[in-house]
Amino acid sequence: MADLRINLAGIKSPNPFWLASAPPTNSGYQVQRAFEAGWGGAVWKTLGEPILNVSSRFAAVSYNGQRVAGFNNIELITDRPLEVNLQEIYETKKKFPNHAIIASLMVEPKQEKWHEIVKRVEDVGVDGLELNFGCPHGMAERGMGSASGQVPELVEKQTYWVKEAARTPVIVKLTPNITDITVTAEAATRGGADAVSMINTINSLAGVDLDSWNTVPHVAGKGAHGGYCGPAVKPIALNMVAECARNPLVNVPISGIGGISNWQDAAEFILMGATGVQVCTAAMHHGFSIVEDMIDGLNNYLDDKGLASVMDLVGRSVQRYSNWGDLDLNYKIVAEINNDVCINCNKCHIACEDTSHQCIDLYTEDGRPMLKVREEDCVGCNLCSIVCPVDGAISMVERPSTIPPMTWNERQSLLSSLSK
């Protein structure tokens, strides 16, 4: 069995699976149940001045039969007194000394406010702090959350204030509601962050009820934008993690968040530079027990790859993530159809004929309908293999090129030199 223990900026946990700061980590009862189920760590639901939450507050987007493909919420930070949370953190840490407990914090952008809450939460034994600069709704209207997280100067300044008082590692949680997340990640690093976590939720409106015309969700007939998460946001989150992991100015560990639902998702985030991952929506959808499959699956995967530790997996794909201008323009793949497996649904032909490059021909052989790709016209776009409902019916295969590799950047450089 591989070693699943991680060390994220000095925060140790028995495995890389943490619960994100959210409804599942709202109380000591929940966090203790999660640890008993096998979760390696938990980021406590964000602490600050307790607020009043609204009812209702959640909504979900289901797609093509999949429930909760995306999840939307307009819930804010903790609505329980700070003293109650601190007592439960103390009790939970005492009962589970080897599990990671990180306090998520959000206060006004004032130095004294940060110093005060940091000292109070560290006194009860947390392993680290996560600064919530990401919440896109409710708190942002009060000058906190993403209102701070969208301003690099505020991210840097507030991180620095926290580091003045903190004795434990400081993680800065970043908002995706920004043009370039690496800018705020760099700011957090300049401010002294020991790690960054991403992504927080994305600004969203889940939907509109076509009968009542109310937003979904609504509060007494009125709605507001909320935060979007769940499987639908995974590609966005994975890109942002990768961009930060390959940025030399963001030279701190990353805690990956965003649509992680199984061990495969977790492995992808770790390959793209995350030391550990945080999960919320999947736990809310299926319960804490999902971590059992995550642990078993990741263990088996590491064994299959011959890796002794999950830490050996961190960042192994980062060097393969680049800019478009560095891609080989002369690399060639084409689609290949296996008619022995094909069920003749013709989805590939329709997709290619209507929306791609018209390179799949329909013909009949011995009275049987067949499909064939004209390779000279195929651009290797992958669309046919994507829409095909049968595994193995369409493969994308490499074709040797007689032309040496050349990137767009190299091509532009060559054209520039020739024009002189």
| Per-residue pLDDT reduced to its tens digit, 409-420 | 999 999 999 987
Domain of 364, in residue numbers: 326-398
Angle at which helices 234-245 and 263-271 cross, to 10°: 30
**Is 135 in the active site?**
yes
pLDDT at site 178: 95
Digit-coded pLDDT (tens) for 314-354: 999 999 999 999 999 999 999 999 999 999 999 999 999 99
- Under the banding of pLDDT at 50, 70 and 90, the label for residue 1 is confident
pLDDT at site 350: 98
CA nearest neighbour of 300 among 262, 273, 272: 262
Q: Are residues 307 and 353 in the same domain?
A: no
**C-beta of residue 279 within 8 angstroms of C-beta of residue 18:** yes
Residue 76 confidence (pLDDT) above 90: no
Q: Are residues 355 and 251 in the same domain?
A: no
Residue 138 confidence (pLDDT) above 70: no
pLDDT at site 146: 75
Q: Are residues 384 and 277 in the same domain?
A: no
Q: Which two tokens stand for residue 118?
A: 């940091």
Over the range 144-161, which residues count as b (16 or more CB within 10 Å of their CB) and which as e?
bbbbbbbbbebbbbbbbb
**C-beta of residue 258 within 8 angstroms of C-beta of residue 198:** yes
**C-beta of residue 167 within 8 angstroms of C-beta of residue 118:** no
Mean pLDDT on 218-224: 93
Look at residue 407 and tell me if it is in a domain: no
Residue 139 confidence (pLDDT) above 90: no
Q: Are residues 368 and 258 in the same domain?
A: no
Q: How far is it, in rounded angstroms, from Cα 249 to Cα 187?
A: 9
Q: Which two tokens stand for residue 100?
A: 């990671």
Which of the 8 DSSP states describes residue 22? S
Q: Are residues 358 and 293 in the same domain?
A: no
From the candidates 135, 352, 359, 388, give the one annotated as an active-site residue: 135
HEC assignment per residue over 330-372: CCCEEEEECCCCCCCCCHHHHHHHHHCCCCEEEEEECCEEEEE
Digit-coded pLDDT (tens) for 158-206: 999 999 999 999 999 999 999 999 999 999 999 999 999 999 999 999 9
In 217-257, which ranges are E strands?
226-229, 254-257
**C-beta of residue 43 within 8 angstroms of C-beta of residue 278:** yes
Report the CATH number at residue 382: 3.30.70.20
- Under the banding of pLDDT at 50, 70 and 90, the label for residue 147 is confident
CA torsion through residues 340, 343, 349, 355, sign = negative
Q: How far is it, in rounded angstroms, from Cα 152 to Cα 159?
A: 11
pLDDT at site 137: 67
Residue 234, number of CB atoms within 10 A of its CB: 19
How many residues in the chain? 420
Q: Are residues 106 and 197 in the same domain?
A: yes
Residue 226, number of CB atoms within 10 A of its CB: 26
Bridge partners of 42?
19, 101
Q: Which two tokens stand for residue 400?
A: 């040797």
CA nearest neighbour of 34 among 274, 295, 258, 212: 295
Residue 236 confidence (pLDDT) above 70: yes
Digit-coded pLDDT (tens) for 43-75: 999 999 877 788 989 999 999 999 999 999 988
Residue where a domain terminates, one of 320, 346, 372: 320
Burial class (CB in 10 A: 0-12, 13-18, 19+), 83: exposed
Q: Which residue has the tokens 């938990």?
A: 42
Cis peptide upstream of residue 14 (ω within 30 degrees of 0): no
Say which range, 86-100, 112-126, 293-307, 405-419, has the weakest mean pLDDT.
405-419
Residue 135 confidence (pLDDT) above 80: no
Report the CATH number at residue 85: 3.20.20.70
How does the average pLDDT of the chain come out, rounded?
95
Which helix (H) or strand (E) segment holds residue 70: the answer is strand 66-73
CA nearest neighbour of 79 among 125, 48, 58: 48
Domain total in the chain: 2
Q: Are residues 341 and 292 in the same domain?
A: no
Interstrand relation of 58-63 and 41-47 (parallel, antiparallel or unpaired): unpaired
Q: Are residues 131 and 29 in the same domain?
A: yes
Q: How far is it, in rounded angstroms, from Cα 403 to Cα 186?
A: 40
**C-beta of residue 212 within 8 angstroms of C-beta of residue 56:** no
**C-beta of residue 178 within 8 angstroms of C-beta of residue 149:** yes
Q: Are residues 194 and 268 in the same domain?
A: yes
Q: Which two tokens stand for residue 326?
A: 């560095």
**371, HSE (Cβ side, Cα atoms, 13 Å):** 25
CA nearest neighbour of 257 among 172, 330, 160: 172
Q: Are residues 332 and 315 in the same domain?
A: no
Q: Are residues 300 and 349 in the same domain?
A: no
Q: How far is it, in rounded angstroms, from Cα 196 to Cα 245?
A: 10
CA nearest neighbour of 25 among 107, 130, 128, 102: 102
Q: Which two tokens stand for residue 169?
A: 């590692």
